[in-house]
Structure 1
Amino acid sequence: TWRRRAGNGAHESSKGTAMKEDTITMEHQRRYSRHHERLIASKRLQTFFGLLLVVVLPAMYRWGGDFWFTSTTAQWNAFIGTAAAFTLSLTFINRLCQLPGTKSFAYVIPTVSVSYVVLIILCSLLEIAVSRLQVGISFAMAVVFGSAFYYVDSRLTTKRMAVVPFGKALSLCVKKNTSVRWYMLNSPSLVGVKRIDAVVADLRGDLPEEWQRFLADCTIHRIPVYHATQVHEMLTGRVLLDHLYANEFGSLSPHEGYEVVKRGLDILGALLLLPLVSPIMVLTAIAIRRDSPGPALFCQPRMGFHCRPFSVYKFRSMYTDHKGQGFTEGDNDPRITRVGRVIRKYRLDELPQLVNVLKGDMSFIGPRPESMSLASWYEKDVPFFHYRHVVRPGISGWAQVEQGYAAEVDGMIEKLEYDFYYIKNFSFWLDLLIVLRTIRTVVTGNGSR
């Protein structure tokens, strides 16, 4: 009888402990759920008040309170069109800010501008009557509202992640990024830890059994658990080469459906841009010929899509009688001409590659194509190098906007890590982010070679 009572007491004690641990986990689940619900509510309120300030109030101010009953067709078209453009711009910003290294408020003006320009173009092409003054007022209000909201949001919102202190989680995450508030877990429990967004662990490491149960409980209670390499990629925009085997090669294959769409966008973009930039190309060619002897165009064999060689077209930016090592040696390369420094800074030397885009050799966005000699050299040292040719090379790419145009040899490994991240996350949104950052580089000249 004594043994039975003791056994029952031990069972009740362990049950109480389990219930206590479960209560702790449930409390964090409630915190996470409340936080998640607040985020959803914040997005809805953002859209609601944004439409109210950007679309409804300007319309009522201009046309009066009886606007709903006395408005003309042009006024209603402007009302509906600006609502659609503003909602589209919010969608763009919210998707872009999920990508590495993005600050949402920095993309308010570009995305709002693109959305409203598309509205005006569509109305012009379809001959839809619209109040352009109302569109202009709504555009100005959208820029002001979006900039203020996302600036405050970026200052107040900080990711909180708890780290399981085993394996490579510490070295891959905490030491690599300071934009996240990290919580080091000393025991398999969230006691004393405030609201967190996720738990980070080296899921391929040798975790003790109690830590495995802890991660399972987090998953059951809908607290996200991320592998350390996945978080590293999310925060840095790079896929480490020494962890490439950890990725299934199927996950690194680009989406075939988007490849078709992207090819169509490339052709359309090249056809629209060539007539617009032709005067700039003519002036650039004249400046090159007057600055130094030699042809204006430079052709070089490069490694292309599916490892097929092709000839890339560029404006010549170097002297023809200066010998080099077969690759750019940085900003102080003595082979670069005076005009060459200018056209490199603003990427004008890349304009002839619009022809490569039309031919199908290149895309607007993708890994930069390397010369045949450099490609052979890299392949000897980096077993995965040829895998970057699973997508078309691009005029601009993720490595260029993140790393900048450094000398080819110096940042080769880092450049490949960015290229593999682009291939793994091959999507319209990542391409759009690269386009916006490339435009910023062209306008400011910062980050160019």
Structure 2
Amino acid sequence: MSLHKDTPHATPRSAVDSAIGGPAAVASSETARRASRMLSWALLGLLLFGLNLILAEGLRHAGIVTYVFTRTMAWSVVPYLSAFVLLHRSLHLPSIEGNSLVGVAATLPFALLLLAFAAFHIEYSRGALLLAYLTTVAWSGFGYRRFVQNYVPVFGYTDPRALAQLDGILSMPGAAAPSAMRFMRIGSLEEAAHCDGLMLDRAATADPERTRALARFKLGHVRMYSVERVGEMLTGRVGLTHIDENFLDDYARHYLYGFIKRVIDVAAVLVLAPLVLPAALLTALAIRLESPGPVLFRQTRVGRFGTTFTMLKFRSMATQADAPAQFAARHDPRVTRVGRVIRKYRLDELPQLWNVLVAEMSFIGPRPEQVPMVDKFAETIAYYPYRHLVRPGLSGWAQVQQGYVGSHEETITKLSYDLYYVKHCSFALDLLIAVKTVRTLLTGYGAR
């Protein structure tokens, strides 16, 4: 974590009023200028495709490639531009996730183009498509790192208490390291113009003098963020000390998203079934050969809107009947040899595809918890029930960021990740979680 706090000499209140009381002739914020540079970078990249097309034409006249190669390169401009649009739409996500974001933004449009070629029986060149894809990944990745990921944003503030509040949001047990950011005490509109935004303490007294000053900043095109919103941008978590109750209204705007996500869930289960069934049968056989007892483990969990359902898993412990609700422990002696393997690579979760098919779960969402633990946390952790506003998932934002939790304090951190997902659930975030889940499946990260 590298948070730089620049605190130049305080500007007297009268000087502030004088500075912001003049004409509001100020350029746009640094955030808008960076977005403009990213757009210019995307347009500049079209020259690469132009050069590729000229080269392809030369190779076609030389008889090395056919016209299909050139046509495929021309079609590839569409997913190239789509990749930059997706990156722009995902700028609200922590920039530390840049590598995954670039991979998703570049891969998805080209995958859709490939599906379109197959669906409409359009002849295409694999070599041209691969060349265009690699060009897109390299150009968009370099641009994202230059203008977003490696850029350290500067946020201004007028009240030192805002920094103390932000420190409280950043200091949470078991949390991933936040992105870098610098802070500067500002006292004039000209100073604010060089910042990416103004960080505000929402609990500060709304006196007329402060209100007039903030109005001048707003009219000068200075972006304003609450301390909690800046914390979200840095960490991918929601601060739990002062949650904006209005974020509950955000999910109501995602009705279409929820419907499409449900369609994708069902389609994905049907597509994966031929691959999953053999793996599930082999897993079940290994469990049965190693230890006596049922192959499947059933447990009541809390789902969407607080309703309960029976979650299915492959049994990974020698004895699990009547076990009290508790945190998963490292090197749990109850876990069998087969259980350690299937837990590491999440094969014990395969039966939950049935829960997804019957709409009790989704592929992406907060992990469902046991009823006794939910009852306990609902009494001891404020805002805990809000995580049940969305359907629970096989993998979630908390799982790929934090892994499993082993204490009450880490559960609070996990809730901050879950509520971030509830507030910002989108296809971009779902795709990012899916990519990071694949990494988990390959590495066994976070398994217990």
Q: Same fold (TM over 0.5)?
A: yes
My pick for the range that moved more, 161-170 or 330-339, is 161-170
Is residue 42 from structure 1 mapped to residue 37 from structure 2 by the alignment? Answer: yes
Q: Which residue of 1 aligns with 2:385?
A: 386
Query: C-alpha separation between the residues in 2 aligned to 1:346 and 1:141?
Result: 33
Is residue 256 from structure 1 mapped to residue 251 from structure 2 by the alignment? Answer: no
Is contact 1:302-1:370 (8 Å) kept?
A: yes
Is contact 1:96-1:429 (8 Å) kept?
A: yes
Distance 1:401 1:178, change over 3 A: closer
Query: C-alpha separation between the residues in 2 aligned to 1:219 and 1:320?
Result: 62
Tell me the CA shift for residue 110 of structure 1.
4.1
CA deviations over 1:338-397 (Å, ceiling 9, x no partner):
222222222222121111111111011111111122222222223533332221111111
CA deviations over 1:129-188 (Å, ceiling 9, x no partner):
111221122222223323333333346522110112254453225983561110134xx4
Q: Which runs of 5+ in 1 are unaligned?
A: 1-14
Query: C-alpha separation between the residues in 2 aligned to 1:175 and 1:426?
Result: 21
Q: Secondary structure at the match of 2:202?
A: coil
Is residue 285 from structure 1 mapped to residue 284 from structure 2 by the alignment? Answer: yes
Distance 1:21 1:389, change over 3 A: closer
Letter paired with 2:74: I
Q: Which residue of 2 aligns with 1:78?
A: 72
Q: Which residue of 2 aligns with 1:204?
A: 203
CA RMSD of aligned residues (A): 3.0
Tell me the CA shift for residue 305 of structure 1.
1.8
Query: C-alpha separation between the residues in 1 aligned to 2:52 and 2:367?
Result: 46
Q: Which residue of 2 aligns with 1:146?
A: 140
Query: C-alpha separation between the residues in 2 aligned to 1:307 and 1:79?
Result: 51
| Equivalent residues in 2 for 1:205-354, closer than 5 Å | 205-206=204-205, 209-244=208-243, 246-247=245-246, 249-251=248-250, 253=252, 255-320=254-319, 324-354=323-353
CA deviations over 1:289-320 (Å, ceiling 9, x no partner):
23332222211111112222111111111112
Q: Secondary structure at the match of 1:141?
A: helix
Query: C-alpha separation between the residues in 1 aligned to 2:238 and 2:32?
Result: 32
Is contact 1:345-1:445 (8 Å) kept?
A: yes
Is contact 1:254-1:391 (8 Å) kept?
A: no
Tell me the CA shift for residue 18 of structure 1.
6.6
Tell me the CA shift for residue 17 of structure 1.
9.7
Query: C-alpha separation between the residues in 2 aligned to 1:17 and 1:244?
Result: 30
Query: C-alpha separation between the residues in 1 aligned to 2:314 and 2:297?
Result: 6
Distance 1:95 1:210, change over 3 A: same
Letter paired with 2:425: F
Letter paired with 2:367: R
Query: C-alpha separation between the residues in 1 aligned to 2:344 and 2:220?
Result: 52
My pick for the range that moved more, 245-254 or 399-408, is 245-254
Q: Which residue of 2 aligns with 1:129?
A: 123
Please say which structure displays the higher CA radius of gyration.
1
Query: C-alpha separation between the residues in 2 aligned to 1:408 and 1:254?
Result: 34
Query: C-alpha separation between the residues in 2 aligned to 1:384 and 1:434?
Result: 23
Q: Which residue of 2 aligns with 1:418?
A: 417
Q: Which residue of 1 aligns with 2:183?
A: 182
Tell me the CA shift for residue 86 of structure 1.
1.7
Distance 1:191 1:137, change over 3 A: closer
Query: C-alpha separation between the residues in 1 aligned to 2:416 and 2:55?
Result: 53
Tell me the CA shift for residue 78 of structure 1.
0.8
Tell me the CA shift for residue 85 of structure 1.
1.9
Q: Secondary structure at the match of 1:242?
A: coil
Query: C-alpha separation between the residues in 2 aligned to 1:51 and 1:17?
Result: 45
Query: C-alpha separation between the residues in 1 aligned to 2:161 and 2:18?
Result: 30
Q: Which residue of 2 aligns with 1:119?
A: 113
Aligned residue among 57, 64, 77 for 1:63: 57
Query: C-alpha separation between the residues in 2 aligned to 1:181 and 1:426?
Result: 27
Is contact 1:398-1:418 (8 Å) kept?
A: yes
Is contact 1:167-1:206 (8 Å) kept?
A: no
Query: C-alpha separation between the residues in 2 aligned to 1:178 and 1:262?
Result: 29
Q: Which runs of 5+ in 2 are unaligned?
A: 1-13, 171-177
Percent identity reads 34
Is contact 2:302-2:374 (8 Å) kept?
A: yes
Is contact 1:164-1:201 (8 Å) kept?
A: yes
Is contact 1:189-1:214 (8 Å) kept?
A: no
Using CA pairs under 8 Å that are at least 6 residues apart, name the structure with larger relative contact order, 1 or 2: 2
Is contact 1:315-1:349 (8 Å) kept?
A: yes
